[in-house]
Chain A
Amino acid sequence: MALNQSAIQTTSHNITNKSTEGYSRQKVDFQTNPSVGEGRYQIGTGVRMANISRVNNPWIEKQLETENSNFSRLDQKAQALARLESTMNEQSVKGMNDSISNFFNSFRELANTPESAVARTQVREAGMGLVKQFQDAHRQIADVKVDMNKNIEFAIAQVNSLAKEISGTNEKIQQIEINGSDTANDERDHRDMLLKKMSELVNISYAEDKKTGMVNVTAGKAAVLVAGTTHSQLKTASAPSGQMLILHELSPGGSQLDITDRFTQGKVGAALEVRDQTTQGMLDNLNDLAYNIANEVNRAHREGYDRQNIAGSNFFELANPAEPFSVENLKLSSEIVKDVSRIAAAAKPNAPGDNTVANLIHNLQGRRMMEDGKYSYDDFYNSKVSEIGILAQRSTSELDSQRNTLEQLTNIRESISGVSLDEEAAKLIEYQKSFEASARLVTTADEMFDTILNLKRL
């Protein structure tokens, strides 16, 4: 009867934990008691409980953990790429492509009427618009980078708290399983879940110590985060270039090791990849494009003469000449901003109707000026938009297929380890009946005893 009660207890435990994350259903393993020999016969002495074990396939769990890590990497990547993509999305709003066209068309307008102050003002506005567009795009992309850094920082903090929790769980398991059996069901479930969560964030490898039942966790193949009941911390620090670095503290307050490039999986891996490859690449491309346009326009502009018959100076200049070229450091020549007659459209002095230089400048649009004459500005930019589109598209489809894989695996896992109410209900009835029968047995025994006691009276 006590046994049946334990079984019912386990069933109720299963039912209540039906929705607990990472929970594996438990079952009571019954075993017959050693029988007693009675002459020629063996008489059974009933049942005892061998173990309460969890129904769990470690191999599936391991696989699930890997796929989950993969999934969260792709998920993070797809999200980040979608953001990057939106910075270059011109389907609904006007963007870079539009600004470039505008800029060159303003020079065409200037070529039409080089005498006109209106056309000149238009050129100035388009020039400022182009610079602003470059800077906006640059800022939006750089924002993604900052975001990635924040994500990394946050994820590392989570990893640290998980490491602490795992080491705590290790200790509990060790205490419970001191006698060597494999009984710390709930703690093991909990630890499995913690490991799974950790692997969503970073790539980890872990191994269980068969004797103590404790796991040791190594992150990024370099940093031992959990060793038995002790744990160490990962730190984040900003590099001077603005990149967030991941450091491993070898001992509390001790020396730190930069292991940033060891993280290739999980959320952190994705954030690092997007930050250091895609985002950086986009910023570099933008810089290239801005530099090329500014440089070529300047070269042509310097050859010209403005309305005041002064030889042309630079059209674009650096906001801070001491610093190297960057999109943020780009601006329209302050001379031109002040006075549009300084825009040089003519190739010779004293020729207000000469539009040779304006023609030369707007003709840049159709020429292949990027990457040693391979692409025109438009081609270059458009191909970059395509590129990020392809990246985003691929990562989304990868994510979808990974989601399917994960769903399948989760289904299998839940099929094995999940709680089914129907099953538990059936079991409940079974145990209840057994309990009733056992109780009945006691009653019967009691009645038999009564009978014996009442023998004399008859």
Chain B
Amino acid sequence: MRVSDKMQQAQVLNNLNKNRTELSNLQNQASSLKKVTKPSDDPIGVSRILQSRTDSSNMTQFDKNIFLGKSFLETTETVLSQMGDVIVRAKELALQAANDTNAGMPREMIASEVEQIYNSIVELSNRRFGERYIFAGHKTTEAPFTKEGKYTGDNGQIQIQNLEGQFMPINLVGSQVFLGEDLSYGGNVSREQNIPLTVEDLQKFKIDQIEAEFQKEEAQEHQLETRGPANVGSVQRISERDPVTNARGVNVFQTIMGLEAALRANDKLGIQESLDTLDQAMNQVNLARAEVGGRTNQLIATSESIQRGIVDNKAYNSQIEDADVFQVMTEINKSNQTLEATLSTSQKFMSQSLLDFLR
């Protein structure tokens, strides 16, 4: 084969270029420790990397959501446990007072302690988490219970996303826990299952809510007071049985208020009656606590799986994205040697000419 000078020169240049390109790529990998530095390095991998980055950042967000939800629920739990203690104390007092031969404390005095208990129930039911009233439904900026134990919040449940497409309500609605309204089967607080996630759902949801509101108002309008003014609190001490869930809720405020009224009126029968409702109130608060505990546990479990997910995701990402340092270093060495070999052979190859020998 005829080898011309230009051919030789081009060949040397090409070889050098090839070596240098390879070396520069490897160098790039070594300095960034990434084997994918642009989409064309691994087009499919890049898409996966981006997806898992999104997943990762979403999971971190979900974890933040869960943390908030957990704190919220923990505050609720604390309040409910205090509430339980207070009701227990009320029951103790009622027991004492129900006995005619009580240990010398006049019912009048017991009544004033029960009044204090009532005040602390109002205070507890208006507790806040940060700036938000925890039992107010969606009306979190205003105290949900008046001094008379009237509920001014709504029945909104604050849904927190804890996984893709999965939500958890983090608040208990005050009217359910303390007034015993709209309880679900078994007397427990309800959990809203219907979370509108499309605009169409939301429109339907809004209509449904307005309808429900209307029905509730109508029902309240038709409810008749069954007792005279002497027994103030007892009127709705026990609300009507819910025809669907067969649950019976207790109005905690009115129970305490009724106890106080009975004490002051020296109404032994009334006091004994309230013992029963206090038990029910206790039960209601405990059930709510159980619900809170259940939700918290669920959140903790999700959080743990999210933490694992984040780590798994990192590992997965690293597999696609990160360069194997040992491999890169080995290859750099190899390329370096090749380059040196190319350079030294080129030097010999190019400097030789017939002209050198024609002397």
Min CB–CB distance A50 → chain B (angstroms): 22
In chain B, residues 26-58, which have Cβ atoms closer than 8 Å to a Cβ of chain A? 32, 34, 36-44, 46-47, 49-51, 53-54, 57-58
Contact code string A345-371 (vs B, CB < 8 Å = 1, else 0): 011101111111101101101110000
**Residue among A18, A92, A347 making CB contact with B37, cutoff 8 Å:** A92
Instruction: Chain A residues near B141: list those with CB within 8 A.
Output: 115, 352-353
B343 at the interface (CB under 8 A from A): no
Contact code string B1-32 (vs A, CB < 8 Å = 1, else 0): 11111110011001000000000000000001
Judge whether B5 and A426 touch: CB under 8 Å. no
* C-alpha gap A360/B209 in the complex (Å): 17
Judge whether A415 and B1 touch: CB under 8 Å. yes
Q: Which of A175-183, A282-290, A384-392 contacts B (4 or more CB under 8 A)?
A: A384-392
Min CB–CB distance B47 → chain A (angstroms): 4
Min CB–CB distance B6 → chain A (angstroms): 5
Judge whether B11 and A351 touch: CB under 8 Å. no
Judge whether A356 and B196 touch: CB under 8 Å. yes
Judge whether B358 and A429 touch: CB under 8 Å. yes
* C-alpha gap A101/B41 in the complex (Å): 24
B156 at the interface (CB under 8 A from A): yes
B205 at the interface (CB under 8 A from A): yes
Judge whether B5 and A420 touch: CB under 8 Å. yes
B226 at the interface (CB under 8 A from A): no
**Residue among B2, B51, B65 making CB contact with A382, cutoff 8 Å:** B51
Judge whether B57 and A105 touch: CB under 8 Å. yes
* C-alpha gap A350/B213 in the complex (Å): 15
Instruction: Chain B residues near A60: list those with CB within 8 A.
Output: none
Judge whether A85 and B39 touch: CB under 8 Å. yes
* C-alpha gap A108/B60 in the complex (Å): 11
Min CB–CB distance A425 → chain B (angstroms): 5
A153 at the interface (CB under 8 A from B): no
B136 at the interface (CB under 8 A from A): yes
**Residue among A90, A365, A423 making CB contact with B50, cutoff 8 Å:** A90
Judge whether B139 and A386 touch: CB under 8 Å. no
**Residue among B5, B43, B139, B159 making CB contact with A18, cutoff 8 Å:** B5
A173 at the interface (CB under 8 A from B): no
* C-alpha gap A383/B39 in the complex (Å): 11
**Residue among B6, B58, B158, B209 making CB contact with A355, cutoff 8 Å:** B158
Residue of B nearest to A296 (CB): B199
A410 at the interface (CB under 8 A from B): yes
**Residue among B4, B5, B61, B161 making CB contact with A363, cutoff 8 Å:** B161
Judge whether B38 and A86 touch: CB under 8 Å. yes
Judge whether B47 and A383 touch: CB under 8 Å. yes
In chain A, residues 99-147, which have Cβ atoms closer than 8 Å to a Cβ of chain B? 100-102, 104-105, 108-109, 111-113, 115-116
Contact code string A365-409 (vs B, CB < 8 Å = 1, else 0): 111000000000011011101111111110010000000000100
Judge whether B61 and A300 touch: CB under 8 Å. no
Judge whether A414 and B36 touch: CB under 8 Å. no
**Residue among A111, A113, A359, A360 making CB contact with B199, cutoff 8 Å:** A360
Instruction: Chain B residues near A414: list those with CB within 8 A.
Output: 4, 6-7, 10
B131 at the interface (CB under 8 A from A): yes
Judge whether A115 and B5 touch: CB under 8 Å. no
Residue of B nearest to A78 (CB): B40
Interface size on B, residues (CB 8 A): 69
Judge whether A85 and B38 touch: CB under 8 Å. yes
In chain B, residues 122-173, which have Cβ atoms closer than 8 Å to a Cβ of chain A? 130-132, 136-141, 154, 156, 158-161, 164-165, 167, 171
Given contacts A353-B132, A382-B51, A414-B7, contact A390 B43 (CB under 8 A): yes
Given contacts A97-B50, A362-B161, A414-B6, contact A426 B354 (CB under 8 A): yes
* C-alpha gap A159/B6 in the complex (Å): 27
Instruction: Chain A residues near B196: list those with CB within 8 A.
Output: 347, 356, 360
A91 at the interface (CB under 8 A from B): yes
B314 at the interface (CB under 8 A from A): no
Interface size on A, residues (CB 8 A): 78
Instruction: Chain B residues near A299: list those with CB within 8 A.
Output: 199
Judge whether B138 and A112 touch: CB under 8 Å. no
B198 at the interface (CB under 8 A from A): yes
Given contacts A101-B54, A111-B161, A410-B10, contact A353 B139 (CB under 8 A): yes
Given contacts A115-B140, A353-B141, A386-B43, contact A303 B4 (CB under 8 A): no
A422 at the interface (CB under 8 A from B): yes
Judge whether A385 and B61 touch: CB under 8 Å. no
B68 at the interface (CB under 8 A from A): yes
Residue of A nearest to B42 (CB): A389
Instruction: Chain A residues near B197: list those with CB within 8 A.
Output: 359-360, 363, 367
* C-alpha gap A25/B36 in the complex (Å): 47
* C-alpha gap A98/B60 in the complex (Å): 13
Judge whether A393 and B43 touch: CB under 8 Å. yes
Judge whether B65 and A407 touch: CB under 8 Å. no
Judge whether A420 and B2 touch: CB under 8 Å. yes
Min CB–CB distance B342 → chain A (angstroms): 15
A19 at the interface (CB under 8 A from B): yes
Given contacts A356-B196, A366-B165, A425-B353, contact A416 B2 (CB under 8 A): yes
A411 at the interface (CB under 8 A from B): yes
A219 at the interface (CB under 8 A from B): no
Min CB–CB distance B138 → chain A (angstroms): 3
* C-alpha gap A426/B354 in the complex (Å): 8
Judge whether B7 and A386 touch: CB under 8 Å. no
**Residue among B6, B61, B209 making CB contact with A19, cutoff 8 Å:** B6
Given contacts A109-B64, A385-B39, contact A347 B198 (CB under 8 A): no
* C-alpha gap A411/B58 in the complex (Å): 56
**Residue among A19, A89, A382 making CB contact with B47, cutoff 8 Å:** A382
Judge whether B354 and A422 touch: CB under 8 Å. yes
B203 at the interface (CB under 8 A from A): yes
* C-alpha gap A367/B200 in the complex (Å): 14
Judge whether A347 and B206 touch: CB under 8 Å. yes
* C-alpha gap A347/B157 in the complex (Å): 12
Judge whether A97 and B353 touch: CB under 8 Å. no
Given contact pairs A25-B4, A91-B36, A391-B40, enumerate 12 new A-B contacts (beta carbons under 8 Å).
Answer: A82-B38, A82-B40, A91-B38, A101-B57, A115-B132, A348-B209, A356-B202, A378-B51, A382-B50, A393-B43, A420-B5, A425-B355
Top 8 nearest A-B pairs (CB, nearest first) are A418-B4, A389-B39, A353-B140, A389-B43, A351-B138, A392-B40, A414-B7, A354-B138
* Cross-chain pairs A/B with CB under 8 angstroms, 21 sampled: A91-B49, A97-B50, A97-B53, A105-B58, A109-B61, A112-B65, A112-B68, A303-B199, A303-B202, A348-B206, A348-B209, A352-B141, A353-B136, A353-B156, A359-B167, A367-B197, A379-B51, A383-B47, A419-B4, A421-B355, A426-B354
**Chain A contact residues, CB within 8 Å of chain B:** 18-19, 25, 81-82, 85-86, 88-92, 97-98, 100-102, 104-105, 108-109, 111-113, 115-116, 299-300, 303, 346-348, 350-357, 359-360, 362-363, 365-367, 378-379, 381-383, 385-393, 396, 407, 410-411, 414-423, 425-426, 429
